[in-house]
Amino acid sequence: MPDAKKIFVSVGTHPQAFDRLLKELDSIAAKHPEFEIFAQAGNSKYKPKKFAFEKFLKGKQFDERMQWADIVLSHGGAGTIINALLNKKPLIVLPRLKKFGEHTNDHQLDLANALERERKVIAVFDMNELEEKILKAISFKPNLSSDKERLIKRISLFLKESK
């Protein structure tokens, strides 16, 4: 059994619910008492039974939860993703999907796919894989490099060579 892990879940502030995620997390929490889960549940209707949650967090509360977490689990919203990456947290991204009424389109799929290709996040496209992906995230080290950093290095090297 893995060591206790604190998992911060953010479903964002989108007006549509993300009950599918919260229900699955309740099931996972029941099997994994070593996980301490806290969720920002947003406009979801489902009320988790096995972990703590608040509908919305103010900025400072959100930042405190981000710092507290060992792992961040997020919808495919850019705000939480950027925040988790800046805080160097292992990040699991589960896009909201139009077919479940979680969003108006499937643009979050594109972002999750792109970030997973770059090894910045662990993406979940099938809810049945969520537990496995959480276990994987315990040892996941996100690729935190950026094109900006590579560009700066290339420019610096160019400037040194041209002296």
Q: What is the mean pLDDT of residues 105-122?
A: 88
Burial class (CB in 10 A: 0-12, 13-18, 19+), 123: buried
Q: Name the pTM for this structure.
A: 0.86
Q: Greater confidence, 150 or 83?
A: 83
Say what the pLDDT of residue 161 is.
Answer: 67
3.40.50.1000, 3.40.50.2000, 3.40.50.300, 3.30.465.10: CATH of 5-161: 3.40.50.2000
Domain boundaries, the chain: 5-161
Cα separation, 108 vs 96, whole angstroms: 6
Say what the pLDDT of residue 157 is.
Answer: 67
